[in-house]
Structure 1
Amino acid sequence: MNNLTELEVENLRHIIGGHGTITNKLENYAQSCTDPELKSILQQDAQAAKQAQQQLLNFLG
C-alpha cells in the first residue's frame, strides 16, 4: 500500500463515494428506461463506475 496522507485518504473516500452514487443513479435510470439501446448504455456505464470504485478501494486496502 502507498503511504497516503490523511487528506489523500479523505479525498479518495470522497471519490469512491461519488462513484457509488453514480452507480446507483445509473442503475436506477436503466431500470426505468424503456429504450433498449439507452438502457444498455446506462447499464454499461453503471458497471464501469462500479469497477472504478473497486479499483479505487484497492488504494485503501
Structure 2
Amino acid sequence: MRTVLTSKQASPLAAGVRPPAADVNPPEDVAATVVFALGRPVGCEIGELVVCPATETSWP
C-alpha cells in the first residue's frame, strides 16, 4: 500500500501530536493467533486473518 502524506497532514505528527490511545489486543493474544495460523496443516490456506478487540465497532 502506498501512502503519500502532504506536509499539512504530516505536520501534527512532526509536532509530536499523537492519536488517542487505541483499544488493542494484548500481544500474547495476537501471538497465539499467529501460532494457530502457522499450525494449520499443509494444504490449508488462510487467505485473510483479522485480529481485533471484541469492542471494535468498525468491524461487522
Q: Is the shorter-chain TM-score for this pair beyond 0.5, marking a shared fold?
A: no
After TM superposition, the score normalised by the length of structure 2 is 0.36
Write 1 or 2 for the structure with the bigger share of helix: 1
